Structure 1
Amino acid sequence: MSDYLIKTVCFEGQIRAYAVCATETVSEAQRRHDTWSASSAALGRTMVGTVLLGATLKGDDKMTVKVEGNGPVGPIIVDGNGKGTTKGYITNTKVSLPPNELGKIDVKGAVGTEGSLTVIKDLGLKDTFSGTVPLISGELGEDFTYYMANSEQVPSAIGLSVLVDTDDSIKAAGGFMIQVMPDATNETITLLEEKIAEMPLVSSLLDDGESPEQILARIMGEDNVKVLEKMPIKFECDCSKERFATAIIALGADEIQSMIDEDHGAEAECHFCGKHYHYSEADLEELKAETLLK
């Protein structure tokens, strides 16, 4: 199944719901960063959460999600947008922990329970918008849910799930976001709470071959879901040699001269995708000349 997200309205507009299969997207991040199981699950869940939040944006709008907990994986940074592309990295890629009390990957232990979740939105305006909430769980689904309720004032239920194989590869990854609209009845809300409580993990359902449509039908009932849009999802990095060159120019002529004298060149690596860019002495001389023109 290729990765995609569906946007739906349910119960005749009482509920807005999104579901996503992001297995290949998270797999690409795992391969690029060579993450171990706990790091893979933490990064993957953050990516799925960012994709779900990104689905509420318009096409060119962007967002950055930062998870900064006190656990061993360190900070997690993920970018997303309204077009379904995402990229992300985790500070410590080689974290593997004993299973938690449920026999699952200990994401809470990896992320930590103290810290913050920050969402920064670039909506193409002069200023960005940001909201920060404390981590309340470390499992991340609950933390994204808490962010939506407190920073966006939208009562939501967010489920994030990553299934990691024994060789650290990704078997399945996905999630859902259910948003309660102002006219939702108590009866509808109670029904959804019961259905979500008894649901298997999304990644297990995806691994068994279920689609995002079938996953939402499980929660809502098939007749209550109206699909509005189906959007492809993928890992994509927009780094380039030119973008890194701009950053080098910002260092100033003296710093660039030091690179020429001491290192006879420069090497830049993208945190998000792992690509390397080399700058020869001649490249650096050109960049230094540009700083003198500014």
Structure 2
Amino acid sequence: MNDYLVKAMAYRGFVRAYAVNATQTVSEAQKRHDAWNTSSAALGRTLIGSLLLGSTVKGDDTITVRIQGDGPGGAIIATSNGSGDVKGYIQNPHVSLPLNEQGKIDVQGAVGTQGIFSVTKDLGLKEPFSGQTPIVSGELGEDFTYYLAVSEQTPSSVGVSVLVDTDDSIKTAGGFMIQMMPGADEEVVAALEERLQHLPKVSSMLDEGKTPEEILDFIFGDEPVAILEKMPVQFKCDCSKERFASGLISLGTQEIQAIIDEDHEAEAVCAFCDNKYYFTEQELAELKQEAVKGNT
């Protein structure tokens, strides 16, 4: 089954709900970055949370999540859009920690408990919107939840979950986001909080064959859930040789000449997807000419 995200409403529109199966998406990221189990889970949870946030904006509008904690994983960055595309990387993909006290992958150990959780929304306006909160957990679901409550004043609950197999491959990955709209009844909030406390991990439910729709049904119990949209999601990077060429031109003629003199060629590597782009000495010379034109 291909990855997809569902958008839904419940309680007469006072509650917005999202659920996603992102197994193939996270698997693609794991393979591209050769991520080990703890790094995979941390990156995967960030990608899932970014997809959930990205589903609240339109089309080509983007959301970038940056998690800069004090753990050995280093910075984690993911960018998603309103069309279901996401890309991302973890600074150190080779982190494999012992299981935590609950016998689970120690994502908190990889991320750390001190640092900054920030979100930048580029909605096509003059200035992108940016908000940041301190890392409150390092498990990431709580960090997305805290960010939404504090920075966007939206009472929410975010669950992000990755099941990593013994060979470091991704078995299942997915998540949910529940958001209260203004005017939501306190009894509704209390009932949902109670149900969410007893919710199994999303990755376990996906492993049992449950769909995103069935996960929302499980969360809401007897309350009817109205599915508004079903959207495919995927790992997709928009890097290109042309984009890297522009970056080289912006270095200026002296810097390009230094590369020609020292290396006679250049290799550019995309941090998000690990694609590599090669530039021959002839191509570098042409880019240098472009830089000369740009300065005249």
State the alpha-carbon separation in 2 of the partners of residues 101 and 176 from structure 1: 25
Equivalent residue number for residue 14 of structure 2: 14
| AA partner of residue 139 (structure 2) | E
Q: How does 1:243-262 map to 2 (within 5 A)?
A: 243-262=243-262
Amino acid at match of 1:179: Q
Alignment map for 1:219-234 (pairs within 5 Å)? 219-221=219-221, 223-234=223-234
Would you identify which runs of 4 or more consecutive aligned residues in structure 1 move more than 2 Å? none
Q: Deviations over 1:69-111 (max 9, x none)?
A: 0000000010100000000000101101111111000011110
Q: Pairwise mapping of residues 115-264 of structure 1 onto structure 2 (< 5 A)?
A: 115-221=115-221, 223-264=223-264
Q: Distance in 2 between matches of 1:199 and 1:153?
A: 24
1:129 to partner: Cα distance: 1.0
Whole-angstrom CA distance in 2 between matches of 1:182 and 1:129: 22
Seen in structure 2, the aligned counterparts of structure 1 residues 222 and 282 have a Cα distance that, compared at 3 Å, is farther
Query: Which residue identity does 2:102 align to in structure 1?
Result: L
Letter in 2 for 1:183: G
Q: Aligned with 1:60: secondary structure? A: strand
Whether the aligned pair in 2 keeps the contact of 1:68 and 1:115 (CA below 8 Å) is: yes
Output the CA distance in 2 between the equivalents of 1:68 and 1:222.
40
* Equivalent position amino acid for 1:265 in 2: E
2:276 is matched with 276
- The whole-number CA distance in structure 2 between the counterparts of 1:164 and 1:25 is 13
CA offsets 1:36-76 (integer angstroms, 9 cap, x no match): 01000000000000000000001110111100000000000
Kindly tell me the number of residue pairs found equivalent between the two proteins: 294
Q: Is the 8 A contact 1:39 1:73 kept in 2?
A: yes
Report the alpha carbon displacement of residue 221 of structure 1 after superposing the two structures with TM.
2.3
Identity %: 61
Residue matched to 2:99: 99
Name the amino acid aligned to 2:40: S
Distance 1:105 1:160 in 2: 13
> What's the TM-score once normalised by structure 1's chain length?
0.99
Aligned-pair CA distance for 1:222: 5.3
The answer (yes or no) to whether the contact 1:12–1:224 under 8 Å persists in 2 is no
Structure 1 gaps, min length 5? none
Map residues 107-118 of structure 1 onto 2, 5 A cutoff: 107-118=107-118
C-alpha displacement at 1:11, in angstroms? 1.0
- RMSD over aligned CA atoms reads 0.7
Q: Secondary structure at the match of 2:174?
A: strand
Residue type matched to 2:290 in 1?
Answer: E
